[in-house]
Amino acid sequence: MIIDQNLSKEDFPALIEVWEAAARATHDFLAPGEIERLKPLILENYLPLMQLACVRTDTGGIAGFLGRAADKVEMLFVHPNSMGQGIGKALMLFAIQQWKVDKVDVNEENNGAQLFYSKLGFQSVGRAELDGEGNPHPVLFLKLMD
């Protein structure tokens, strides 16, 4: 699987499409309208500040992507059509091995993500009642353990 780090602002609309599709498939705890409210924040406030990597489809589209800041994965999203193919794992292993990330936050209500990260060796080291936007979605702080 080839990890592409050559992403630019021109890729942001495709990243947002993947983010939205994945969020709708995996974040059933979000209230109606929250995804629409978050889209411009992701596009304008988060993506431009992150180092990004993706896996592309055979046709050049984006199957999944990861964004990091320093030693922390800030977002990992795989399009539902590409889930279960090892894309998320490949992106995380790339980030761990190449970028030396060892932290990630996960919504406590996202059991699938918790299981995914635990299989990679991440363990909870803390918790917050509110998410980064101040919404009542508890967040677990995970760290990669040796």
Tally of domains in the chain: 1
Q: Under a CB-based contact definition with an 8 Å cutoff, are residues 51 and 68 in contact?
A: yes
Q: Under a CB-based contact definition with an 8 Å cutoff, are residues 75 and 50 in contact?
A: yes
- The reported pLDDT for the residue numbered 87 is 96
> What is the domain-level CATH number for residue 111?
3.40.630.30
Domain-embedded: residue 4: no
Domain-embedded: residue 137: yes
- The reported pLDDT for the residue numbered 5 is 94
pTM of structure: 0.90
Domain-embedded: residue 133: yes
Full domain range(s) for residue 62: 9-144
Q: Say how far apart CA 136 and CA 146 lie, in whole Å.
A: 32
Residue 17 CA: distances (Å) to CA of 6, 13, 76, 79, 123: 18, 6, 13, 8, 30
- The reported pLDDT for the residue numbered 133 is 79
Domain-embedded: residue 28: yes
Domain-embedded: residue 83: yes
Reduce the DSSP state of residue 49 to 3 states and report it: helix
Residue positions counted in the chain:
146
- Within 10 angstroms of residue 137's Cβ, the number of other Cβ atoms is 20
Residue 59 CA: distances (Å) to CA of 63, 81, 83, 126: 10, 14, 17, 41
Domain-embedded: residue 107: yes
Domain-embedded: residue 74: yes
For the cut 80, the answer to whether the pLDDT of residue 146 exceeds it is no
Q: Give the pair of three-digit tokens for residue 111.
A: 């059991």
Buried b (16+ CB within 10 A) or exposed e, 41-71: ebbeebbeebebbbbbeeeeebbbbbbbeee
For the cut 80, the answer to whether the pLDDT of residue 28 exceeds it is no
Domain-embedded: residue 3: no
Q: How confident is the model at residue 120 (pLDDT cuts 50, 70, 90)?
A: very high
